[in-house]
Structure 1
Amino acid sequence: MENIIFEGELKNGQPIEMRKLFTGQLPQILTLQEEVIEALEVKERLQPLTEEEFRFILDGNGEMIGVYTDGEMIAWRAMLVPDNDHEGLGRDVGVPEEEIGKVIYQEISAVSPKWRGFSLQTLMGLVLMERVDADKHRYVCSTVMPGNIPSLKDKFKHGLEVRALKEKYGGKLRYVFFKDLKTQEHQRTESREIPMDDIAGQQALLADGWAGTAMVEDGNGWFVRYER
């Protein structure tokens, strides 16, 4: 089928292909989003998109890709070109006002509960990040709920780092992630790890110029590594 942008196979040998999605696939997109929400133990982990928001992306304000196997859509992921940084993520992380038009969001992703454990979220993210036009979109931003371990791992794997931890979407606590596609990684000389559930401690570090660069797990739970 046309619009195939990637072909491969999962670790169990199942062949998959990724396709660029259009408004014609909207019913499948919405059905899969519902399937994912139904399976979530903590519904707040996902900030679902409305049909209008999906249409905005599919009408040329970003890109969505879907993973198919045996003709069935089993996952999708979106990048959104926001209307004047409408969720404020670029401004949250200090993108200069004259550069706000160069912000793009790593948006929502959905993987069918039947196909978890195959790193589909990360694979889709790698494909989408490679497709970003860095001349148009210099800054990548995203949000993740503290405790959403798969999505946090995903963002760090793509080289994004935490630059803010604040309430978004009407009072929901979120990490705000950031990556500058034109700047080489910073040389940092200080590092410390702080419990993920120590919200005030992390906010104090972020206010003092630290950035969250990785996460680690030990017997006491999850920690975020901050560097500056």
Structure 2
Amino acid sequence: GVGYVAPILCTMRGLGESDIEQAVVFHKRISDEIGDADFFAEENTIAESIMGEGVVVGVFAEGNLIALRAVSYVKEFVDDAVVDLDLDPGEADHVAVMDFCVTDSSFRGNSIQFFTYLFTESLMYPNRYHLHTTVSPKNIFSLTNVLKCGFSAIKFKQKYGGHHRFVLYKNLRKPGAIKTRGHKEILLRNYDYHPKVFADGFVGYKIKHKSNGMAMLYGKPLEEVPSKV
């Protein structure tokens, strides 16, 4: 809204103990600005993740924090993810819960979420390769971003005290392919339909803007990724 655009040098790094206070204040400010509790129904503590039970990445512009991405390895949340993803409990030490990504409003639209995700992925792999996250069907921006990062929607359920959530999964060891021919398109607001489509073996792979609302595109996962001809 200031009437001009200008390039600003940004730096990205993993956060440490001395960053906790700034990170907590920044997260609260952005959450308060967005103001929809359904977007942020439950946050794992930033401090726990920074102190070793996860990873927190920050993006700084001129010394100020402008974006924050947190990943949690806290047992309580990992155990919940193991159930969501139908994994063997023995895989728990390889699970990462993608907690949240918040960006200063003046820097949104610059693919910062995507870059922070790629950087975070490089910090987690090869130890953590089962990636789990949940996103509100109302949060179209985050859903679009998470799907672009290679996640697939695999379930639709009520979590965190009754809030509807898509459960999304990415396996860094086994990138999956999805058959898009014969795909289904289900409006995000049709909460009753999503579980039925998942039950039929489909996974969500993209958000599409339709004349009557935003829709999730569903396809069937391919067991074998076709080799390049």
> Which TM-score tier does this pair reach, normalised by the shorter chain?
0.7 to 0.9
CA–CA distance in structure 2, aligned partners of residues 190 and 130 of structure 1: 34
What is aligned with 1:70?
Answer: 62
Does the CA contact (< 8 Å) of 2:17 and 2:50 recur in 1?
Answer: yes
SS at match of 1:45: coil
Superposition pairs for residues 16-95 of structure 1, below 5 Å?
16-47=10-41, 49=43, 53-83=45-75, 85-86=77-78, 88-95=80-87
Aligned length: 215
What is aligned with 2:143?
Answer: 152
Residue number among 206, 216, 227 corresponding to 1:214 in the alignment = 206
Task: Say if 2:6 is the partner of 1:15.
Answer: no
1:24-82 residue CA offsets vs partner (Å, 9 max, x unmatched): 111111111121122114232123536xx222111112211111111111111111123
Does the CA contact (< 8 Å) of 1:85 and 1:103 recur in 2?
Answer: no
Moved over 6 A (4+): none
The Cα shift of 1:86 comes to 4.2
Structure 1: gaps (5+ residues): 1-10
Letter in 2 for 1:221: G
Structure 2: gaps (5+ residues): 221-229
Task: Say if 2:228 is the partner of 1:197.
Answer: no
**Given the two structures, how large is their TM-score scaled by the length of structure 2?**
0.86
What is aligned with 2:130?
Answer: 139
| Two-structure CA RMSD over aligned residues (Å) | 1.9
> How many percent identity over aligned positions?
22
**Given the two structures, how large is their TM-score scaled by the length of structure 1?**
0.87
